Amino acid sequence: MPKLRITTADEREMIVEDSATLEAEIGRFERAFDALIPDLDGEDDEAGMQALGRYRILAYHCNAILGQIDWWNDQVAKERRAARRDLAAVLKARRGKK
C-alpha cells in the first residue's frame, strides 16, 4: 500500500498506510466538525469566532487529505495490477511458458 502523509484532526503529522486508517481519520474530522456546531450556532460570539477559526483549520487539513485520495487509489490499483502480473509470471514459469 502507498504511504500518505496527513495532518490529523488534532493537528498531528501521521503516515497512513492502509484504507482503514484513512477512513478512521476522515471519521475523526467529521466528528470534529460536528463538535463545532453548538459554538457556531450559539449566542457567544467569542466562542463562535474560535469555532470558525477551528473549522477553517480542520477544513484545510481535511481538504488536503481528500485531494490526495485519487492519487492514493491510483497507487493502490497499480500495486494490485503489478501483484497480479507477478503472480501470472510465477504461474507461467511453473508451467514452462513465457
98 residues of the chain, pLDDT tens digit each: 788 999 999 999 999 998 899 999 999 999 999 999 999 999 999 999 999 999 999 999 999 999 998 888 898 899 899 999 999 999 889 988 65
pLDDT of residue 29: 97
Q: What is the pTM of this model?
A: 0.76
pLDDT of residue 76: 86
Nearest to 28, CA basis, from 3, 69, 71, 65: 65
Which single residue is written with the C-alpha cell 495532518? 7
- With 0-12 / 13-18 / 19 or more C-beta atoms within 10 angstroms meaning exposed / middle / buried, residue 84 is exposed
pLDDT of residue 35: 98
Backbone phi and psi for residue 11, each to the nearest 5 degrees, phi listed first: 65, 35
